[in-house]
Amino acid sequence: MRGVNMYALDSFLSLNLTEVSTKIKQGEISPVDIVTALINRIDTVDSKLNSYITVNREGALATAKEREKEVLEGKYRGPLHGIPIGLKDLINTKGLKTTCGSSIFENHIPDENAELVNRLEEAGAIIIGKNNTHQFAYGPTGDRSHVGPVRNPYNIKKMTGGSSSGSAASVAACLNYGTIGTDTGGSVRIPASFCGVVGMKPTYGRVSKRGIYPLSWTLDHAGPLTRSIMDNALVLNAISGYDPLDPDSKETDQEDFSRYIGLGIEGKVIGIPKSYYYENLDPEIEQSIYQAIDCFKRLGASIVEVDIPSMEEISEAQKVILKSEAYAVHENNLKEFPELWDEEVKERLLTGLNVSGSDFAKALRVQKIAKQEFANVLDSVDVLLTPTMSILPPDVNARFLSDDYDDSQHIRWQILKLTAPTDLNGFPSLTLPSGFSKEGLPIGVQLIGMEFEEAKLYQFGYAIEQELSLNLNRVEIE
């Protein structure tokens, strides 16, 4: 046994966001009862997972009372009204501690919200707390934080992936109805895949980054993690949109990302990259992904092979930009607080000193090539389909793929390999569960689309989600 049987919980805690939203609107469930039950569950379960750094007990209950009153008065704000949402602890919250997973900021209380928090609150959401993260989001393993590692709800000996580690684990363990993470090399999609939830990295500039502590100005994205495709689209509806005070924000029309959900995919075309994405896969992941491909065929989609020529250069360019900008972001922190770093994170930051101006300039050039090559392929297919991860969740604190212990064998590169390319080119990428390993560990499939075509990704994601009908979010915690 691995802990608390999900079926033994208050029935509404194991509902997804869309389901509980309907019950709130109809007056069948009170936001106050939901928040009270969630806080009790966090207090009971999270000591084993460590998915939260700060729980917003008083604030969440106070907001829940306001949202309940609004429902009674007929002032329903929409699908997120009264819905408890978690935030990665890089995202500023006025009056609520934001630590970035680091003792440098362990007592930091922001004076104002990040823009996406304002949008969530306007939509009626309740901020239930701040989710644990790899220190300053600089790591895909999710086990380096000043409050300790996050553990995978499907097996607490296994890592969640990172850096949005607590964000994914808390969704999977029913400790909220959705979270917001950040993704610079895969930090939404990696833990979503390892923890068996849905994670979206939207188009670069689709969601405001104002008020989120940066890791890389060029690569950072923010996006939702949820239990279902529809849930994910509803959260993205709330947080997306142009922000004139964010220099990277893209001015686009507000849209409903759920608008294609439920439409068939018969006659659509799915591209399968010939190389890079399907190399050196764990056999169980390979089997799961090809089962997903067969599923799409049964739904009437055509499958074609495609070629993206410069994948190795694209992968390397993402690393170069990340190293350089991460060091630039943290240069003063490294000087002012030399002893307050996780040694692994500090060592990785210092590799940014080895990036030359020439290297950085070349990487920016490759970024343009990455946009062009992916766009060329996506002109001929509707979406690309790849594995999200090439390996199953490793043990917490595992670091090397072999006994050589050289940096090229560090586990981070294998974890980042299939997600990082679309952080470089900014194209939207969605991961959703495609199955489980023999040991019951989640496996994820990744869908990649053209810029600003998140709604199409949700259409494909929902189609396979319904076809697979996986028994997710019923995990037990040891």
Q: Is 187 a catalytic residue?
A: yes
Determine contact, residues 473/19, Cβ cutoff 8 Å.
no
51 part of the active site:
no
Q: How far is CA 60 from the centre of its chain?
A: 23
**Residue tagged active-site, from 21, 145, 170, 187:** 187
Cα of 61 vs its chain's centroid, Å:
26
- How many residues would you count in the chain? 478
Catalytic residue among 30, 163, 193, 315: 163
Owner of token pair 């018969």 = 266
CA distances from 55 to 95, 256, 401 (A): 13, 31, 36
Residue 364 corresponds to which tokens in the numbers above?
Answer: 């920016």
The one catalytic residue among 21, 30, 51, 88: 88
Q: Residue 390: what residue type?
A: S
Strands 269-273 and 383-387: parallel
> Catalytic annotation on 88?
yes
CA 247, CA 262: separation in Å to the nearest integer?
A: 35
Cα–Cα dist 231/19, whole Å:
9
- Strand 221-226 relative to strand 198-201, pairing: antiparallel
Give the Cα separation of 140 and 95 in Å (integer). Answer: 29
Report which of 186, 388, 190 is spatially closest to residue 285, judged by C-alpha positions.
388
Which token pair is 119?
């949008």
Contacts of 399 (CB under 8 A, 6+ apart): 141, 410, 411
The candidate with the shortest Cα–Cα distance to 427, out of 383, 371, 384, is 371
> Cα separation of 133 and 101, whole Å?
5
Helix (H) or strand (E) holding 413: helix 411-416
> CA-to-CA distance for 447 and 458, rounded, in angstroms?
9
Which residues have a catalytic role annotated? 88, 163, 187
